[in-house]
Structure 1
Amino acid sequence: MTKYMRTYILRRLIQTVVVIFLLSFVSYYLMNLMPGDPIDIMIMSNPRMTPEDADRLKKLYGFDKPIHVRYWIWLTTTLSGDLGYSRTYRVPVGEILGRRLLNTFYLSTSALLLSLAIGIPIGIFSALRKGSSFDYAVNLFAFAGISIPSFFLGILLLIVFAIWLKWFPAGGTQTVGANLTGFAAFADRVKFIILPMCSLTAQQMAQYVRYMRSSMVETMHFDFIRTARAKGLPRRRVLFVHALRNALIPVVTIVALSISFLFSGAIITETLFAYQGAGKLVYDSIIANDFNVAMVSFNITVGMVLIMNLIADILYAYLDPRISYK
């Protein structure tokens, strides 16, 4: 790693920390604009609570302080390792968030790997057969995959495979009440993850096919490709050493942003399939005004997006030696 690369990475890391700090304050402020704080909700759910009790609780939890003071208290407490307590689930935030992040990681990783394994080769083959009937068919299905709303595709999968064919369960993460271990537990989890994974894979795969095809078509017209062919290099070497490496540069950004959502979850898909992941947790927390869970989940999402963007920029230099960070 060169001196310029280290300087660039250090500068970007500092920028990442600053952006996370600013966005966390903005999200904290917006969350506090929502009607009713936790104490008000406690008053509504407990008619026996007196105004004196409400004032005492607001002073105890700092709701009587200015918003910047409350934010600083929340930030220092979070950085110390205390993520707070979930009012909805009656457990510490770390306990409920850890399980949900793991579920989302399983779902998003399987969908990402499957979409890459299918989308990248199809995009390359379609570019090499530009103008053929196969290319037109690939473009048609890719446009359909990008255009179909995720909720519509999810409902369609539920109707066909869960209701009509009854091949897979309609929702959930695992069989409730089943005390399974070993391979039986793994097979049970796979049975519940297939439908949401297919819904996510269809959309991501369509994007990778389109980006990979257009990038490969453009790369095949570059001068260095014609030079490599004029030198008599084997076709396989021209395609997979010279062309593919350069064609992957714009695709890296899309893949990096996809990786950043491994821990944030797909809110619509997870909610539709009742999959107990981080995306559904964020949605439920915002609806229930579960402040601590929503804030921690949001900051994890922001951090992952910024870190994956940094990794994508570093990969650019590896894929394209012409890129310099001086």
Structure 2
Amino acid sequence: MLERRRMWRLSRRTLWQAIPTVVGILVLNFLLLRLIPGDAVDVLAGESGGASAETLLQWRSHFGLDLSLMEQLQRYLGQLAHLDLGMSPRFNLPVSHLVLDRLPNTLLLMVGALGLALAIGIAAGTIMATWVGRWPDRVLSLAVLLLYSTPGFWIGLMAVLLFSVKLGWLPSNGFQTLGLDLHGPAWLLDRLQHAVLPVLALATFYIALYARLTRAAMLEVQRQDYVRTARAKGLAPWRVVSRHVLRNALLPVSTLAGLHFAALLGGAAVTETLFGWPGLGRLTLEAVMSRDYNLLLGILLLSSMLVVVINITVDLLQAWLDPRIQAD
């Protein structure tokens, strides 16, 4: 019961701190985007080969771009109060429809890449710290250094050449096989096959990062008195590592993973473009190129909400890993 109350206080504190942060981000993003020269009407007019001044005025009036800056902000906040993200001038569709349609694809990449990076990185870091100074540590340190210094998009291109062009094992583009009406397990397997290469390209840098961080954290924890006491009691080495060393070493790893979840959205833009994956990152690039402010604001709002959820999750995870963490 006390543990549940502590967890509830931690999540409530994080949530209350996040609300003004999200509101501030919304207002700041709105104002900064309006400083960019041009708007969606200019882009649409250019793509259509030109438009008269009257037509431009009608388009701007239709999308509310003829209002003053404060009137546009007031209108936008009023729409948000009714859970309305507005219309996309570029796609002529509700922003909520566009964002929610692409969200599952991006979450698949982000969760898959972060999960793969954590699993392999923590495992590699544990091996490196356990056999520090010996050949497993040296071999893995070299591999980690190569992954850390190699751009993810280059690894993605090489993976396409190897697994798609040469071996023909995995698809190189898209998120599903065109022309096939798949359902159930076959549909899921097809999606996973298309996601393997993008997830791998997105995860390589973070695998190296978590491996190095886990190794350094475990070496630091191994010097603590309670670890020496556990060994003096005659506990099995694997039990000392798993229960006393690794658990405490995961605190900085979990903190960094929470920060990287939001950063993965930026990396996903390059990966999604490279592999033709229809996700939020690719949609963000399209919105930037077309000056679609409503769509950009919707994506930024969703990103902010994801960060809030991840921060709450990380706080709860750290409280579980270290019972000394208390809610103020």
Deviations 1:39-81 (A, max 9, x none): 3334444568542343344345432332122112112213312
Corresponding position of 2:171: 169
Corresponding position of 2:270: 268
Q: Output aligned runs, 1:75-90, within 5 Å.
A: 75-90=77-92
| One-letter amino acid of the structure 2 residue matched with residue 174 of structure 1 | Q
Q: Select the residue among 201, 215, 218 that pairs with 1:216.
A: 218
Say what the alpha-carbon RMSD is for the aligned residues.
2.5
What is the aligned residue count? Answer: 326
Q: Secondary structure at the match of 2:244?
A: helix
Rate the CA distance shift 1:230–1:264 in 2: closer, same or farther, 3 A.
Answer: same
What is the aligned-residue identity percentage? 33
Aligned partners of 1:235 and 1:165: how far apart in 2? 42
Within the alignment, does 1:26 sit opposite 2:28 as a pair? yes
Are the equivalent residues in 2 in contact too, given 1:265–1:278 (CA < 8 A)?
Answer: no
Aligned partners of 2:120 and 2:243: how far apart in 1? 20
Are the equivalent residues in 2 in contact too, given 1:261–1:304 (CA < 8 A)?
Answer: no
Deviations 1:98-126 (A, max 9, x none): 22111112222222323333222221121
Q: Output aligned runs, 1:39-188, within 5 Å.
A: 39-46=41-48, 49-188=51-190
Corresponding position of 1:239: 241
Q: Secondary structure at the match of 1:179?
A: coil
Distance apart, 1:6 and its partner CA: 5.4
Are the equivalent residues in 2 in contact too, given 1:212–1:247 (CA < 8 A)?
Answer: yes
For CA contacts below 8 A with separation 6 or more, give which structure has more relative contact order.
2
Are the equivalent residues in 2 in contact too, given 1:111–1:200 (CA < 8 A)?
Answer: yes
Corresponding position of 2:290: 288
Rate the CA distance shift 1:85–1:178 in 2: closer, same or farther, 3 A.
Answer: farther
Rate the CA distance shift 1:61–1:94 in 2: closer, same or farther, 3 A.
Answer: closer
Aligned partners of 2:181 and 2:111: how far apart in 1? 26
Deviations 1:140-189 (A, max 9, x none): 11122122112221122222222333332221111233322233322322
Q: Secondary structure at the match of 2:187?
A: helix
Q: Select the residue among 171, 192, 195 that pairs with 1:193.
A: 195
Are the equivalent residues in 2 in contact too, given 1:157–1:195 (CA < 8 A)?
Answer: yes
Moved more, 253-262 or 185-194: 253-262
Deviations 1:13-47 (A, max 9, x none): 23311111112222212222222223333444456
Distance apart, 1:225 and its partner CA: 0.7
**Can you give the 5+ residue segments of structure 2 that lack an aligned partner in the other structure?**
none
TM-score (norm 1): 0.89
Rate the CA distance shift 1:179–1:216 in 2: closer, same or farther, 3 A.
Answer: same
Aligned partners of 1:182 and 1:246: how far apart in 2? 41
Aligned partners of 1:155 and 1:129: how far apart in 2? 33
Distance apart, 1:220 and its partner CA: 0.8
Distance apart, 1:272 and its partner CA: 0.9
Are the equivalent residues in 2 in contact too, given 1:261–1:305 (CA < 8 A)?
Answer: no
**Can you give the 5+ residue segments of structure 1 that lack an aligned partner in the other structure?**
none
Aligned partners of 1:187 and 1:314: how far apart in 2? 33
Distance apart, 1:215 and its partner CA: 0.8
TM-score (norm 2): 0.89
Rate the CA distance shift 1:41–1:263 in 2: closer, same or farther, 3 A.
Answer: closer
Deviations 1:250-279 (A, max 9, x none): 111122234446777711111111111111
Rate the CA distance shift 1:184–1:235 in 2: closer, same or farther, 3 A.
Answer: closer
Distance apart, 1:204 and its partner CA: 2.2
List, as ranges, runs of 4+ consecutive aligned residues in structure 1 with deviation greater than 6 Å: 2-5, 262-265
